[in-house]
Amino acid sequence: MSYPVLGILGGGQLGSMMASSANKLNIKTIIYSNDKNAPAKNFSKEFIFGSYNDEEKIRYFCDCVDLVTFEFENIPYNTLNQINNLKPVIPKPNINKIVQDRILEKNFVNKLNINTTQYAPINKIDDLLINKDLIPGILKTTKFGYDGKGQFKIDSIQEIKNLEIDFKNKYVLEKLIRIKKEISVILTRFGSESYEIYEPIENVHEDQILKLSKIPSQINKDIIEKSKKWAILIADELGFIGTMCVE
């Protein structure tokens, strides 16, 4: 039996786990990463180092694989779209366009009647003053940024004048809320009404960085069922194929 060659964009811990799991199924993987020391190179059959905007290397990568996936949302949409014209990309590139942008992502889930904290797009300092009702809040870049990077906590209007912000980037201001717990639901969707969904995971952070996750989460049954229902709804509306995590 012959197996397809799977191309994986991104060489971090998620790419490593995908490649490792593929090995158990005798599926050859080729990792493409912009980090020459990416850990996933130790688990894949082949590793290609290059910029995600290097069209020549991307084309070579596509010539080597049968289909392509990506380990996380920070792969440029234009790159995924370019690849999709050459080889199938799963999940679809337009899904990544939504989930890599905090405003598009929030707009999407709110349209599904899944409420988020209040938020507003911020493109200049005056936008912060106009949206003063969202302060105390957290100003975040709309793209990239994790583990507290690209984020500014604003406790009062008076703090705005002291912020050193590069408005070449786009931002979103999120009203600060006090949460009791953060949970994650991991779901693998194979197609319409075909999926595996796992029990919610409880996450514990320190200084905006994940310290540990624990299962089972200590939450009530209503929240367990609601979180699973929302995860399925999001995956179905996106037409998602693959494994995703909803926090």
In this prediction, residues 135-149 reach a mean pLDDT of: 83
pLDDT band at 1; cut points 50, 70, 90: low
Half-sphere exposure of 65 (CA within 13 A, CB side): 30
Q: What pLDDT is attached to residue 48? A: 98
Maximum Cα–Cα distance for the chain, whole Å? 67
H helices of 29-124, in order, are 55-64, 77-84, 93-99, 102-111
Strands 6-9 and 67-70: parallel
Note the pLDDT tens digit of each residue in 199-212.
999 999 887 778 89
Beta strands in the chain, from DSSP E residues, in sequence order: 6-9, 29-33, 46-49, 67-70, 119-122, 137-141, 151-154, 171-175, 182-191, 194-197, 201-206, 209-214, 242-246
Phi, then psi, of 174 in degrees rounded to 5: -110, 130
Both tokens of 44, joined, read: 């894949």
Q: If you search the block for the tokens 């911020």, which residue do you land on? A: 122
Q: How many CB atoms lie within 10 A of CB 99?
A: 18
| Mean residue pLDDT across the chain | 93
Kindly report whether the global pTM for this prediction surpasses the value 0.75.
yes
Q: If you search the block for the tokens 């020549």, which residue do you land on? A: 56
